[in-house]
Amino acid sequence: ATITERGTGFDTGNTITIGDELMGGDGSGDALVLNVTSESFTSDGTDLDINFFDSSRASLGTFNLYFVFSDRSSGRLLYKLKDAVINEASIDFDIDGIATINWSGFAGQIQEVPTGLGAGQFTAQDSFPNPSAVGAIWIDTNDSDKFYISTATANLASSWYAVIDEGSTSTGNFIRNRLTQLSLAPETSFRTNTTFTNSAGNSDSYETSYNVAITGGNVTISNNISYLTPEELGKVNQPIEHVTGTRTVTGSLTCYLASSDAATNRSRDLFADLVSDINTVINKFAITLQVGGTDSTKPRFQISMPTAHLEIPSHSIEDVISLETNFHGLGTGVSEGDEVTLKYIGV
């Protein structure tokens, strides 16, 4: 059997073995072996697909986050953010910039890391030292201050583990927003079952799709984390654990107020249809944002929300009249985590 919702504490490839004696047998029969498989992401040589199907958790995995303040000379200052957790990721793109993701979160405590070779201490030198305990930190001054943590006390290079470092000096994989495209279409059953009276007094319905040229936007995925903190008199209270709230997928899109005498699916028509539909409390639109365009020779990023709710756009009257539309990603059911999927496409 295969477990596809792996839960906290298990990784892909783990097995859970249940002896037959736990199921009423005498211990001589075959055990039940469960293979753990995560469906949270799939990847190949160029693409990475991420979903949130397996993300219904009361708490998230924590990690230690280190900040190294250094001019790569003799003076270095290290801070450790203990039991850190990611709360929110905000994806921003506009016509004049490159796509960015702003990460934010919380940590249980901030600590300054002292110098030394013991657990939780650091030393900076150009070759690996001999750690006196597991958990010592080595800053390699001969390799751009690369960060290592000891996993053993032997005086060997294999005793040091290089931590995750996402620094990059290459700009060839940056995503250019000027090429970003938007696919916006009412969900099929919603469009079929929804009619309204337009401004001319005639019965109308949503278009099958809308041609909206966007100039910028934002998508924010938030875990809405809060902390459980005991309250005691006469001391600084420290949080003991975090809990997740209701995950939200929200954002906004900005586009020019476009119209055409012939076309009926411009941004002006989208605004008119949303305003005219006064009987629908929750509308459903399939939104696909292709950040960076569709050129297969360029890196790009795709955000898909199959059942998003659109708010009525607001106008901005400047040199060019534009519309800003807020949206909310919705799941197909209360227990489903399918409100958004992400796809990184490399070259």
Residue among 314, 163, 171, 336 at smallest CA distance from 253: 314
Q: DSSP per residue over 108-167, as a string?
A: SEEEEPPBSSSTT-EEEESS----SSTT-EEEETTTTTEEEEESS-SSSGGGEEEPP---
Summarize pLDDT for 280-327 with one digit per residue, the tens: 998 999 999 988 888 888 888 899 999 999 999 999 988 888 899 999
Higher-pLDDT residue of 42 and 39 is 42
Residue among 160, 181, 320 at smallest CA distance from 253: 181
Tokens matching residue 119 = 């657990």
Summarize pLDDT for 157-181 with one digit per residue, the tens: 999 999 877 666 666 777 776 667 8
What is d(CA 23, CA 26) in angstroms, rounded to the nearest whole number? 9
What is residue 310's predicted lDDT score, i.e. its pLDDT?
A: 94
Q: Which residues contact 218 (CB under 8 A, 6 or more apart)?
A: 90, 91, 92, 93, 251, 252
Domains in the chain, ordered, with CATH? 1-38 (no CATH), 177-345 (2.30.110)
- What confidence category does residue 9 fall into, taking pLDDT thresholds of 50, 70 and 90? low
Taking the alpha carbons at both ends of the chain, their separation in whole angstroms is: 36
The pairing of strands 100-106 and 76-94 is antiparallel
What is d(CA 144, CA 137) in angstroms, rounded to the nearest whole number? 15
